[in-house]
């Protein structure tokens, strides 16, 4: 379990001080996939660096399984870091070493014998689907492949916690999905706690169980992903979930109308005439109040806000129908706050 308690981080420059984090409290249970989302400059990168003490908090504590990392010496921290590994937006592979040696790197650091390290590295490359690239150099790989090698490297020392700092931000949507699938898979198979830092909504929706929304160095809101995205209560959360505003839509809804938010996570929806089928098959007429989707290849990404007439019954049918389609998540939106 990771417990971030009252963490404040102040950066001092010559003539100003910047409070990057103020009084942040987050608890991340074991085995969770926890998202930390926020706009650029919100402080999320600083926050994740406080979890492995690349940045020491100015005040507050960060506890992992009861050990307060702030009290540890540099030497003790280095030992902890084989247990809390990290992947990065820029992959950060060693450019002069081949993939196998890149994965061996953390093993070498923790004193594993060369032959054993190579064996383990080869297994990990297999796990991430790049067994045939062991002898390739990073320059010979695509971005997605490089991130897979970085993931294999991060798993080498059998960590309990994996920190992902904007791990998919430099990748195209299709590659993003495959990397997210891999991360979700690792979480399930190996039981590793994953902390995902991102500014992308779809990343959180796709793999996270819990989420904390960071705004100007503070936690604006945290809880279960489905709850927060269905009924965001803070301004920061609303801004993320409904970049163009929602109040107009919900306030304008009639008595027996319900507002539904549909999220497309790479569904084959480009081929399914979703709204038309809803009308034909269920007899439910949905009104598109807002849509921000894009198709990449045959897959659809983004979200849509529908207003559904016909009361509770129609709402339930709509949600059931939509949620039965893979890679589509539909939730009712509570606009009355």
The secondary structure of 74-87 as a DSSP string is HHHHHHHHTTEEEE
How far apart are the C-alpha atoms of 85 and 77, rounded to whole Å? 12
Among 8, 27, 61, 92, binds another protein (CB under 8 A): 92
DSSP state at residue 110: T
Read off φ and ψ for residue 158, nearest 5 degrees.
55, 55
> Where do we find the tokens 């959360």?
237
Judged by CB under 8 A, which stretch of 19-27, 122-130, 137-145, 284-292 contacts another protein?
137-145
Say whether residue 90 binds another protein (CB under 8 A): yes
Say whether residue 52 binds another protein (CB under 8 A): yes
How far apart are the C-alpha atoms of 326 and 315, rounded to whole Å? 19
**Residue 258: helix, strand or coil by DSSP?**
strand
Write down the least CB distance from residue 96 to another protein, Å.
5
Identity of the residue, 130 or 163, whose beta carbon is nearer to another protein in the bound complex: 163
Binding positions for another protein, 150-209, rule CB under 8 A: 153, 157, 163
Say whether residue 336 binds another protein (CB under 8 A): no
Provide the sign of the torsion angle of the four alpha carbons 28, 32, 38, 43, taken in this order. Answer: positive
Q: What number of CA atoms fall less than 13 Å from residue 57's CA on the CB side?
A: 27
Among 117, 124, 141, 249, binds another protein (CB under 8 A): 141
- 252-to-232, 283, 285, 335 alpha-carbon distances in Å: 18, 23, 17, 10
> Where do we find the tokens 């809390």?
84
Write down the least CB distance from residue 98 to another protein, Å.
8
Identity of the residue, 98 or 202, whose beta carbon is nearer to another protein in the bound complex: 98
Write down the least CB distance from residue 218 to another protein, Å.
25
Write down the least CB distance from residue 4 to another protein, Å.
17
Write down the least CB distance from residue 12 to another protein, Å.
12
How far apart are the C-alpha atoms of 333 and 318, rounded to whole Å? 13
What track of x and - describes contact with another protein for positions 100 through 129 (by CB under 8 A)?
-----xx-xxx-------------------
Say whether residue 13 binds another protein (CB under 8 A): no
Identity of the residue, 97 or 119, whose beta carbon is nearer to another protein in the bound complex: 97
The secondary element (H helix, E strand) that includes residue 188 is: helix 173-190
Judged by CB under 8 A, which stretch of 76-84, 226-234, 270-278, 309-317 contacts another protein?
76-84
Q: What number of CA atoms fall less than 13 Å from residue 45's CA on the CB side?
A: 10
Kindly determine how many residues on this chain lie close enough to bind another protein according to the rule CB under 8 A.
32
**Residue 139: helix, strand or coil by DSSP?**
helix
Site of interaction with another protein (CB under 8 A)? 52, 54, 77-82, 85-86, 88, 90, 92, 94-98, 105-106, 108-110, 136-141, 153, 157, 163
């Amino acid at each position: 379990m990771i417990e971030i308690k009252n963490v404040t981080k102040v950066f001092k420059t010559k003539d100003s001080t910047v409070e990057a984090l103020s009084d942040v409290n987050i608890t991340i249970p074991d085995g969770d996939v926890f998202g930390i989302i926020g706009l650029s400059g919100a402080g999320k990168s600083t926050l994740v660096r406080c979890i492995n003490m690349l940045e020491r908090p100015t005040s507050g504590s960060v506890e992992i399984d009861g050990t307060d990392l702030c009290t540890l010496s540099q030497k003790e921290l280095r030992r902890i870091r084989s247990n809390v590994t990290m992947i990065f937006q820029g992959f950060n592979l060693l450019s002069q070493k081949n993939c196998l040696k890149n994965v061996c790197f953390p093993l070498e650091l923790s004193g594993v014998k060369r032959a054993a390290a190579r064996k383990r590295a080869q297994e990990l490359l297999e796990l991430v689907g790049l067994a045939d690239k062991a002898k390739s150099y990073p320059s010979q790989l695509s971005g997605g492949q490089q991130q897979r090698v970085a993931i294999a490297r991060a798993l080498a020392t059998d960590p309990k916690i994996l920190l992902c700092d904007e791990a998919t931000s430099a990748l195209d949507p299709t590659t993003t999905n495959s990397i997210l699938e891999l991360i979700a898979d690792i979480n399930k198979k190996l039981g590793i706690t994953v902390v995902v830092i991102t500014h992308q909504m779809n990343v959180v929706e796709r793999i996270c169980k819990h989420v904390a929304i960071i705004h100007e160095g503070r936690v604006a809101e945290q809880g279960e992903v489905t709850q927060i995205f269905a009924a965001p209560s803070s301004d920061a959360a609303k801004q993320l979930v409904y970049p163009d505003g929602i109040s107009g839509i919900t306030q304008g809804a009639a008595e027996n109308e319900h507002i539904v938010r549909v999220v497309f996570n790479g569904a084959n929806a480009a081929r399914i005439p979703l709204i038309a089928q809803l009308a034909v098959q269920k007899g439910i007429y949905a009104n598109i109040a807002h849509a921000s989707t894009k198709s990449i290849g045959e897959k659809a990404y983004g979200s849509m806000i529908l207003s559904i007439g016909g009361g509770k019954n129609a709402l339930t049918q709509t949600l059931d129908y939509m949620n039965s389609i893979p890679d589509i998540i539909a939730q009712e939106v509570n606009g009355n706050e």
